Amino acid sequence: MTKKEKEAMQELQNMEVAADLMLRYIGMDVDENGYIYYYDEDENVSEKIYIDGFACKYPAFPINDPKSEIILDVYNNTKICSHLVHYYNKNIMHYDVDISYITNARMDTIGRFEVRYANGAVISSNVYNKDTLKYIDFIMKMEEAVPMDFDRLRELDIK
């Protein structure tokens, strides 16, 4: 196996670990074709997840139609992370958000992700370098994740 192949394999593994953590704590799942969905037990309704009109697929599944599908890459894509946090606050928790932001001035530097809610409460992630991990940590914090999962997330951080 070449160095490039090892790096690509490690990148996919990081994408899968990040997706697994985010999806588990938001309460989303993956169907047999790799599409991400949210099942609302109260309403008994299943909803496929779309971002900007694109159906989201789990990282290990191939994209069949690039015009209508995207990989749910929460390890590298802050836009996808932001969308999922917005979805979580609005559709799952039914919280009104005043503003959400990253505290660092430059991308992928030490900082936190913070959300200020309409009731005045401010919730912050733990400190990370990689911006996407700040979003995942925020969801995990809101859902009172187990310490072992925070350790797994911390292992994905960049120097």
Identify the CA nearest to 139 among candidates 151, 156, 120, 126: 126
Element (H, E) at 5: helix 3-26
Q: Is the dihedral of CA 136, 137, 140, 142 positive or negative?
A: negative
* Whole-angstrom distance, CA of residue 47 vs CA of residue 45: 7
Q: What pLDDT was estimated at residue 41?
A: 84
Identify the CA nearest to 155 among candidates 28, 21, 25, 30: 21
Q: What pLDDT was estimated at residue 40?
A: 87
Give residue-wise pLDDT tens across range 66-117: 999 999 999 999 999 999 999 999 999 999 999 999 999 999 999 999 999 9
Q: What pLDDT was estimated at residue 92?
A: 93
Per DSSP bridges, beta strands 69-71 and 54-57 are parallel
Q: What pLDDT was estimated at residue 159?
A: 83
Give residue-wise pLDDT tens across range 14-51: 999 999 999 999 999 999 999 999 998 888 889 999 99
Listing DSSP states for 81-101 in one string gives: HHHHHHHIIIIIS-PPEEEEE
